[in-house]
Chain A
Amino acid sequence: MTRRRLPEWFVLLLPAIVVIAAVVLIPLIFSLYSSFTPYKLTRPSTLWRWVGTYNYEKILTDAKFWAAFGRTVLFLTVVLNLELLLGLGIALLMNRVTWGQRTLRTILMFPMMFSPILVGFQFKFIFNDNIGLVNNVLQSLGSDAALPWLVDGRLAMFSIMFAEIWMSTSVFAILILAGLFAMPRDPLEAAKVDGCTPWQTFRHITLPFLMPFIYIAMTIRSLDVARAYDIVQIMTGGGPARRTELLWTLMSRTGYVDARMGLANAMGYVSILLSILFTIYFFRKLSAARAEIGMAG
């Protein structure tokens, strides 16, 4: 009698399959399942009550959810674009530095080394309306206004965007700088010989070369920013009056404070669409940009 043996490739992959199943697949299936139940953390029995698409219907008709969704898209768009512009500017300037560039590169990365929670606390203090740094500076310059930085809708969004940009612009700068280092010199020299202006050189040679790097940075940061939570939670908690409510502050409150994990998971699945859409968009753009500089394939 011969024993049936599992194929070798399967046995070799088994540890990886088990690990991935345990840490990714099972939680994923579990959370997807629970999004079809009224699962409350404090009432474990609710996990076994199937309510079909009730949670999804509730979300789709919930103005507060869509307001948070829209705000997240706005936050994402503004933050990504500003980070790109600033990062590009910093990278171009850094590229011209000939002495001490390594030290500068290290200093540039300092903000990324802080925990986002601490960055949140730091800016919460800086923008505090009563004892904050910004208002104190304004008052010592003669203004008697106590600007409600974290209360006024626009100012509060500005404040959290400022904190987010402060912390992560260097991601763009570093990736774009890597692109600048990898750039061949010949086209630039040819452009010089042909009499291109610096702007023309930048627009038609440097920028197309950098685009693949920019889109990679965009993809990474879009996923990062779309799940912005820590800074926002610390600085405003999504308030006041939901003026700075983003998807993740809403979801965490629903899941962990209200204990409505089923509903929170459903929100998670709907909002994942946002990340998927952004990722697909940037990957397409990435392929197009690579094709343009002859790197397609």
Chain B
Amino acid sequence: MRKQYIAGALLAGTALAGSAIASDWGSFDGVTVEAKLIGGQQYEALYGRIAEWEAATGATVDIISKKSHFEIDKEIKSDMAAGTTDWCVGSNHSSFAPQYEGLYIDLNGMVPEDTIAEFVPGNIKASTVDGALLMLPRAQFDVSVLYYLKSNYEDADKAAAFKAEYGYDLAVPETWEQVRDQAIFFADPPNFYGTQYAGKDEAIVGRFYEMVVAEGGSYLDEEKKPVFNSEAGQRALQWFVDLYAAKAVPAGTTSYVWDDLGQGFASGTVALNLDWPGWAGFFNDPESSKAAGNVGVAIQPMGSVTRTGWSGHHGFSVTSDCPNKEAAVSLVTFLTSEDSQLAESAGGSLPTRTAVWKANVEAAQNGDDPYRAEALAAFAAGAEYAFAVPPIPEWGETTNIVFPELQAAIVGDKTVQQALDDAAEAVDELMRESGYY
């Protein structure tokens, strides 16, 4: 009880400190800021705070679009083609940001340096393209961690059988090789699967990319030449192929993306699941998940060199054509302020400000939710290995070239080497056409 009180006081204190600065959002009487924001229930708490900014500044926010980033991306491309980019604030994503040439302004100089320094440095780095700070990071600088069903590690018979077969103790996996062994061991298709992975679009390429890095390789070299068909790349892809061939993953995994994976683990039929922090609450909620109460969260495993850590994050940007950039910058700063992040991260999303991270971890440690504390500790430990995708406009396009080749190897149409060589050849052509070399 006392602990909770202290945590509450700590949060309130931080909030108070935040609101003391809140009077400084500027005055923009009569200005209307048009915004295209990411949509979803989990973001509504943040958008609910916009009224506060409106009251403080006298401006009005008109949300003209609320969609997923994939949908917003298509909408922005149409806007750029039609020249209708005079709305002001846009939700942005580190994987999409580099491709919108000239759409968003450089926030360096527009946002005080002190404010920028309050963010986690890695987030600011990943929001910067060619020296321009294209967005203020909002949340979810997320690295996927390992969710697992605890019951699999509490069964003495299973532990003995595993040791007899693989020669080492059955414990929550530390390496991707152990994940492979255990996934094959746990699998009992079509009723139960060892693991699963995203199987198409950018999702599988992101997963492959982080495995390549974990195996000590790179996706592109300094010149932006594709080098993912190296030995490290082949080892990375082999992992996906082995699991598929052993039927340790559902046959339909090649058509799964995030929602399918989340629902799959929540159905209680998957033993090990590398997934995003945003799912933590969902997985342990009896209303939404059959695995609730049986979920453990651990730091993501290692490849032969380092841990995986493909990360992306959301942020807010201001367009170059915005008629009132000061108001837009003020709104973006407000939406990513300490207050906003404290409110938002109370719902489970990960903050981008150092102070908010600290407050959250302390609150969880002092609170009475060991699962949340375990998850936050894993996220914090996992985030240390975070790396973003190559900040080039062609990233998305390379993923469209690469993913069908990865699928071809996984379903057995091509060998690992052949699939990666074909993908590298096509990406090489793209990079050449794009003028990198």
Contact = CB atoms under 8 A, between A and B. Distances in A.
A, B in one complex:
yes
B200 A41 contact: no
Contact of A259 (B99, B200, B404): B99
B367 interface: no
Contact of A261 (B81, B189, B405): B81
Contacts of B78: 41
A150 interface: yes
B254 A151 contact: yes
Interface residues of B, number: 34
A277 interface: no
Interface in B56-109: 74, 77-78, 80-81, 83, 99-101
B400 interface: yes
Interface stretch (A221-229, A250-258, A266-274): A250-258
Contacts of B348: none
B45 interface: no
A129 B253 CA distance: 9
Interface string B275-289: 000000000000000
Given A129-B250, A151-B411, A258-B396, A237 B101 contact: no
Majority DSSP secondary structure for residues of B touching A: helix
A42 B407 contact: no
Contact of A151 (B101, B190, B251): B251
A151 B255 contact: yes
Interface string A127-147: 011100001000100001110
A153 B413 CA distance: 10
B24 interface: no
Contacts of A111: none
Given A42-B101, A241-B404, A241-B408, A256 B74 contact: yes
Contacts of B200: 237, 239-240
Contacts of A150: 252, 255
Give the secondary structure class of A's interface: loop
Interface residues of A, number: 32
Contacts of A38: 433
A128 B250 CA distance: 11
B199 interface: yes
Contacts of B403: 239
B397 interface: yes
A148 interface: yes
18 contacts: A44-B80, A44-B83, A129-B190, A130-B190, A130-B250, A130-B252, A135-B190, A145-B190, A150-B255, A151-B252, A239-B403, A240-B255, A241-B405, A241-B411, A242-B408, A257-B396, A258-B396, A261-B81
10 tightest A-B contacts by CB?
A: A146-B190, A148-B251, A241-B408, A240-B254, A241-B407, A129-B252, A240-B407, A41-B77, A258-B397, A41-B81
Interface of A: 38, 41-44, 128-130, 135, 139, 144-146, 148, 150-151, 153, 236-237, 239-243, 245, 253, 256-261
